[in-house]
Amino acid sequence: MLKLAVCVSGGGTNLQAVIDRIGSGEISDVSISVVISNNRNAYALQRAEKHGIEHVCICPKDYESRDAFNDAFLAKLDSYDVNLVVLAGFLVVIPESVIQAYRGRIINIHPSLIPSFCGKGYYGLKVHEAVLARGVKVTGATVHFVDEGTDTGPIILQRAVEVQEGDTPEILQRRVMEQAEWVLLPEAIRLIAAGKVSVTDGHVKIRK
C-alpha cells in the first residue's frame, strides 16, 4: 500500500481527482493518510472531511519563526509514516530538511509545460496570465519530482493543452486542469504505486 500525504492550499480539485480515482478503483494499493494545508480556510480541507480523510492545518504564522514551522512540518509529515508526499497546489516553500528526508518521494503538479512558465512567481493564475501574455498556442501541465529548486526536479509526466482564441486566464486554467492536471497527477501516483517509475541521471523512465 502506497501511503500518501497530500499538501494543499486552495480549492483542492487535484486532491479531488486523486480521491475520485482511488474511489473508482482506477488507482489501487494507494491510500491518502493525511491532507495537510497551510490555509485553514482551504476548501481542500472540506473535501478531505467529506471523504473521511484525516486532515490537518499547519500554518507558518502560528510559529515564531520559519525554522520552527519547518521543524513542525517535518515532524507532522513523519508522524504519518507516508511513502509519497504529493504537492497539489501547496503554496509553501518546502523546507530543505523535508526535501532531504523525502528525497525522490515528493511530487508536484505544475500548470505549465516545464521549463516554460515555471519557477519563482509562477503559480496559480499567474502562470496562465503569462501564457496568454506571451501568446503561445500550446500550454499544459507537468508532474515532476521535487528537489531543492523551484519546479526543477525530474519530469514524470506532461500533457499539452491548446490555447484558444478568447481564452481568459480563468478559462485556460480550467481547461488545463480538466484536460491535463486531473489526469496526470492520479496517473503519476498510479505509476509510482506500481513501481514503474525510476530516475537515472535526472531523467525519469516509466516502465510500461
186 contacts ligand GRF (rule: CB under 6 A): no
151 contacts ligand GRF (rule: CB under 6 A): no
14 contacts ligand GRF (rule: CB under 6 A): yes
Residues 6+ apart with CB under 8 A from 9: 37, 38, 39, 42, 44, 89, 90, 91, 92
Q: Rule CB under 6 A: which of 29-48 touch ligand GRF?
A: 44
With residues binned 3-state (H G I as helix, E B as strand, rest as coil), the percentages for the chain, rounded to 5, are: 40, 25, 40
Q: Shortest distance, CB of residue 201 to ligand GRF, whole angstroms?
A: 26
189 contacts ligand GRF (rule: CB under 6 A): no
18 contacts ligand GRF (rule: CB under 6 A): no
CB 18 within 8 A of CB 32: yes
The Cα–Cα gap between 128 and 125 comes to 5
Alpha-carbon separation of residue 144 from 42, 45, 68, 203 (angstroms): 23, 24, 27, 10
Residue closer to ligand GRF, measured from CB, 74 or 177:
177
The Cα–Cα gap between 16 and 45 comes to 11
8 contacts ligand GRF (rule: CB under 6 A): yes
**Which member of 32, 53, 94, 109 binds ligand GRF (CB under 6 A)?**
109
**Which member of 2, 4, 7, 13 binds ligand GRF (CB under 6 A)?**
13
Q: Which one of 6-14, 46-54, 57-65, 146-154 is the stretch in contact with ligand GRF (CB under 6 A)? A: 6-14
**Which member of 18, 32, 98, 111 binds ligand GRF (CB under 6 A)?**
111
7 contacts ligand GRF (rule: CB under 6 A): no
118 contacts ligand GRF (rule: CB under 6 A): no
Nine-digit cell string for 49: 472531511
* Counts for the chain of helices (H) and strands (E), in that order: 7, 9
Give the DSSP letter of residue 93.
Answer: P
89 contacts ligand GRF (rule: CB under 6 A): yes
- Contacting positions for ligand GRF (CB under 6 A): 8, 10-15, 44, 88-89, 109-111, 124, 177, 181
